[in-house]
Structure 1
Amino acid sequence: MNRWDSTPVIRFFGGRKLLFILGVLLLIGLNILVFSSVGFIFDPFLVFIKTVALPLILSVVVYYLLRPIINLLESWRIKRIWGILITLLALVGIITMLVVLIIPFLEKQLISLAEELPRYLQDLINTIDEWLRNSIFSAYYTNLFEDVDGMIKQIPDYISSYASETVEGITNIISTVTNVVVALVTLPFILFYLLKDGHRLPSFIIRMFPPKVRPEVSSVFKGIDHQLSAYIQGQIIVSFCIGLMMYIGFLIIGLEYALLLAAIASVTSVVPYLGPVIAITPALIISIVTSPFMVVKLVFVWTIVQLLEGKFISPQIMGKSLHIHPVTIIFVLLTAGHLFGIVGIILAIPGYAILKVVVSHLYYWFQKRYNRFVEEENQYKIQ
């Protein structure tokens, strides 16, 4: 018997395997301790990541949207470089048309809504207040209102205590605007080279690995490419369909700011489950202030759109390529939002899909290497 397995406790917990696992955990802990102590060394690297992250993410999204068009033009025997130029010129023309025709109208609606929003909110508060005072909860509401009124009187103190953070908030806004401008300026250049040489990038990276593992690494890249392509292309089409259906429905029921509210619904629908709830909130406030019957019509339109999207549009366009359970999606969105804010919510699902592909392949390789009882026909199938 090996001296490491000499005691019953060690043998019960796995013998040498237990000591190996404890050693790995100890090394991981030491690495975390060292990195946390010398984290300032990585500050320039983090600044670089924050600077290039936004233009790179935008370029990848547009790349997956335009790649099918470039491949189609190339199949028509149009040189790739000319196909890229034609596609980019067409994209610039579409964006220019949107800016000239639609954006000014949306801007007017947005300004009007911003001016009217305080009135809408005040009318909504008055309506709720009147209903609660005349309901069976009036006694509880009166006591609660006294507590809330006391808290409201303390608001000036809170404002003065946090006034020092105003400068920091303005600095963050300026930094965000600067990052967006840099992203928009660098986007065309990154996008051009992605469309031109992006299909060669996986092969270039694969050649860095030993020949023995290149087939497995290639399968990882194919899985990631499939997941990103299916999600980005499908989600954009689904979002456009939701916005169009919402706009038609709002026009039918006569809801104010129909185009703006539909645009908000289209943009927020990129976030599964949480997006529709966010999108319906401003429309619900306007409909409650307008009339009770408008609320009924809005709920009817929203329900019809969600049924069409959930039962027909998403299954046909996106299918079930991600294979992610709805509860998992909710937990991933909540966690990513808490850690990284709005950006985390937007990138949570594709990031989780990529991580799932990598972990699935790693598990398959581990199983194939260490489990000699796995038969070929029962091997884990990786998407």
Structure 2
Amino acid sequence: MKENEPQRPPLVRFLGGRTSIFVLSIVLLIGLIIMVFSNISFIFDPLSGFIGTVALPVILSIVGYYLLSPLVNALQRYKIKRGWGILLVFVVLSGLITILLLTILPFLRDQTEALIASFPGYARQLGMDIDMWARNSPFETQYMEISKNMQTNAEEFLGSLTQNFSDIAGQTLDSVTGLIATLTNFIVSLVTVPFILFYLLKDGTKLYNGFLHVLPPKMRGRTGAMLIEMDEQLRSYIQGQMLVSLCIGIMMYIGFLIIGLDYALLLAAIASVTSVVPYLGPVIAITPAIIIAIVTSPFMVLKLAIVWTIVQLLEGKFISPQIMGKSLQIHPVTIIFVLLTAAHLYGVVGVLIGLPTYALIKVLIQYLFALYKHRYNRFSEKETDRYAIVENDDHV
């Protein structure tokens, strides 16, 4: 210890110094806040209901903003006023959606109805194939025991259905009522999306500048850098993911047509939609295709495997690196944990928004840690710090 350095109390030295005490105090304070809120959570029920109501239209509007803002900006560069450019984009988009509904959607609907009608037959044929294979395999004894247990459980389940019919009917009625309420909320959300989206496209920059000018001048530079990075993360993820999904859908449709797989358009559409979920999406998408291929013929399974492998290689090695790069900079293991946690907490919506939300939280934590370093500086502040303090930020 240096001679001029003041003597610290033994407890402070034991806890690692004042910086460690500060961090420990913050952790304890967060734990205390969580404990208090968990005991008075009923106070926040109205707030959670409000957030649940506005979350869907806001999320859809943000996605639409990042998809349509490049078109609006391009029209503005051609001397078209921003408001008129937004209306023009809306008109063209409405026309494209109408054409899609009148052409592709009926064909997609017919394939969906045909697949639903044929699926019991596919499932029955698949069960017969599995039964035949299992009876002629070394696992015949175990298979027969499992089949017997499943039959017993099925009989018990049917018996419980008969005994508890009134309860089941009441639960079904409640489910139908809940479904109607959910559909109503969804329709209302869809109606409000164009209005929110219009003002986001028109006044998005004003919102950014207005928020910065509310802050103290010394915080504007650092906070502006944080918001810009958040914007870039969301923009690259949403735009890139949508383009990658479109490419996967087109490649799958062409591949399914080449090998002659039934319901090619429907299966390609499923693959395109589910591809927005990394790692888990392809597994979900290939399941119905595998069932149809197995029932069709063993050779169809081989052809499906070839098509799927080629598409995944093209997407992983060429399309995603070129379009998205490493936009979120998240480790694959972290991605899986985030998706599983988000799915457990918020279901399908959590899976869709889990990764971009995690990326935004990551940027926010980096920002807060930069503030901590500046206030309690035991590390040397580098000039290359992305959130370096701006003392004079008149340019913001």
User: Structure 1 length normalisation: TM-score?
Assistant: 0.93
Q: Give the 3-state SS of the residue equivalent to 1:77 in structure 2.
A: coil
Q: Supply the distance in 2 between the matched residues of 1:331 and 1:82 (Cα, whole angstroms).
A: 44
Contact map agreement 1:271 1:345 (CA 8 A) in 2: yes
1:365 aligned residue (362, 367, 371): 371
**Matched residue, 1:294:** 300
Structure 2's unaligned 5+ residue stretches are 389-396
Task: Name 2:75's counterpart in structure 1.
Answer: 73
Measure, in 2, the Cα distance between the counterparts of 1:158 and 1:324.
48
Correspondences of 1:157-236 after superposition (within 5 Å) = 157-159=159-161, 163=168, 164-236=170-242
- For residue 107 of structure 1, what is the amino acid of its counterpart? R
Report the equivalent of 2:13: 11
Query: Once the 2 structures are TM-superposed, how far is the Cα of residue 203 of structure 1 from its aligned partner?
Result: 1.1
Higher relative contact order (CA 8 A, sep 6+): 2
Q: Which moved more, 1:248-257 or 1:36-45?
A: 36-45
Match of 2:105 among 93, 103, 106: 103
Report matched runs for 1:202-351 at 5 Å. Answer: 202-351=208-357
- Measured after TM superposition, the shift of residue 42 of structure 1 is 1.7
1:93 counterpart residue number: 95
Letter in structure 2 aligned against 1:63 = Y
**CA displacement 1:112-155 (0-9 Å, x = unmatched):** 11111111111111111110111011111111211122111121
Q: Cα distance, 1:33 vs. partner?
A: 3.5
Distance change >3 Å, CA 4–CA 92, structure 1 → 2: same
Separation of aligned partners in 2, 1:19 and 1:186:
49
Work out the CA distance in 2 between the residues paired with 1:349 and 1:144.
40
- Could you say which residue in structure 1 is the equivalent of 2:149? 147
Unpaired segments of 5 or more residues in structure 1?
Answer: none
Residues of 2 paired with 1:20 and 1:221: CA distance?
A: 27
Percent identical across equivalent pairs?
Answer: 55
| SS across alignment from 2:16 | coil
TM-score (norm. length: structure 2): 0.90
Question: Is residue 332–residue 348 contact of structure 1 (8 Å, CA) maintained in 2?
Answer: yes
**Which segments of structure 1 move beyond 6 Å, counting only runs of 4 or more?**
1-4
CA RMSD between the two structures = 2.2
Deviates more, 1:80-89 or 1:197-206: 197-206
Query: Structure 2 CA distance, aligned partners of 1:284 and 1:296?
Result: 10
Q: CA deviation at 1:38?
A: 2.8
CA contact (8 A) 1:4 1:16 kept: no
CA distance in 1, matches of 2:307, 2:189: 37
Choose 263-272 or 355-364, whichever is displaced more. 355-364
* Deviation, structure 1 residue 17: 5.6
Q: Give the number of equivalent residue pairs.
A: 380
Task: Give the distance between the partners of 2:67 and 2:51, measured in 1 at CA.
Answer: 24
